[in-house]
Structure 1
Amino acid sequence: MDERFEYLEHTADAKFRAYGKTLEEAFENAAFAMFNVMIDTDTVENKVSQEIELSSEDIEALLFNWLSELLFVFEVETMVFGNFIVDRVEEDNGGCRIYAKAIGEDIDLSRHKFDTEVKAATYNDMKVEKTPQGWMIQATVDT
């Protein structure tokens, strides 16, 4: 699969579809798409890694919590990310879990130019679907 993500038309917020051969790759690309709304991720260096482990009741809630946690770390710890490694996403009767790393650096305003502020992840029109090519995630973030 060549395409990591695409932006979709939305009146006020940022909406995107992220793709992956695996569910893990689709989660990585969803995070990448969200950060690309805010910043040119090519300007982000891979200096530090933030471990992220989350649990949720279902896969959509896990996606929401994944994007929300990344925004929380961005805002509170003033870090920006340009690379994401999802080691695994587990689904069972007890819910869903993600084990991942976000890789980036502390915000440096001399190099990091922010285009759009992403305020929050939303459940609006959210989808996590298995496709013949792999996985597709659709998400909307409040800008």
Structure 2
Amino acid sequence: MFLRNMRNYEILEHKADLKIRVWGETKEELFLNAVLAMQSSLFAEKRKAKSAKRKMSASSPDVSALLVDFLSEVLYLIQTKKEIYSKVNFTKFSDTEVAVELAGQKVARFNQEIKAVTHHGLKVRQRKDGFWETTIIFDV
């Protein structure tokens, strides 16, 4: 799936860290939108057309922990490889395990640093309208 700049997240006020509310029609879309929200907050300066492809996986005891672990793994790749991903293809997705293929491009640098994805208050839940939602706090 290609990541699009949709309004499926919003940045919330927080005293010291970055707080983002994310939602999606499915849990898979929620995870995709969380990647988009995290990447957009980094304010990356893209390089010219140098492509990047990666594979990664994560597993956790429940879907909330899985989201944190998944985002942490993606953040690690973003920061160590200096890449931003425009395509995320889930080859496996369950409440306890994900495997993805990432495709994107190299970046020159980031204008914002995210130190960590936190578990603080994070709970993936289904709203009355059927959408899935969570609020994520990033240590910046």
Q: Is the shorter-chain TM-score for this pair beyond 0.5, marking a shared fold?
A: yes
Correspondence for 1:6: 10
User: Of the candidates 112, 116, 121, which is equivalent to residue 120 of structure 1?
Assistant: 116
Q: Distance in 2 between matches of 1:86 and 1:19?
A: 17
Determine whether 1:105 maps to 2:105: yes
* Root mean square deviation of aligned Cα: 2.2
**Percent identity, aligned pairs only?**
28
Mapped contact 1:21–1:133 kept (Cα < 8 A): yes
Gaps of 5+ in 1: none
Correspondence for 1:30: 34
* Cα 1:46/1:129, change in 2 over 3 Å: farther
Cα displacement (A) at 1:88:
4.5
* Cα 1:107/1:40, change in 2 over 3 Å: closer
Gaps of 5+ in 2: 1-5
AA aligned to 2:99 is Y
SS of the residue 1:107 aligns to: strand
Q: Distance in 2 between matches of 1:46 and 1:100?
A: 20
User: Of the candidates 128, 131, 134, which is equivalent to residue 134 of structure 1?
Assistant: 131
Give the total of aligned pairs: 133
Partner deviation per Cα, 1:22-56 (whole Å, 9 max, x = no partner): 10000000011011111258x58683332222111
Determine whether 1:72 maps to 2:69: no
The TM-score normalised by the length of structure 1 is 0.80
Determine whether 1:50 maps to 2:46: no
SS of the residue 2:59 aligns to: strand
Correspondence for 1:16: 20
Mapped contact 1:88–1:98 kept (Cα < 8 A): yes
Cα displacement (A) at 1:82:
3.6
Q: Distance in 2 between matches of 1:14 and 1:88?
A: 29
Q: Distance in 2 between matches of 1:85 and 1:5?
A: 20
Mapped contact 1:5–1:17 kept (Cα < 8 A): yes
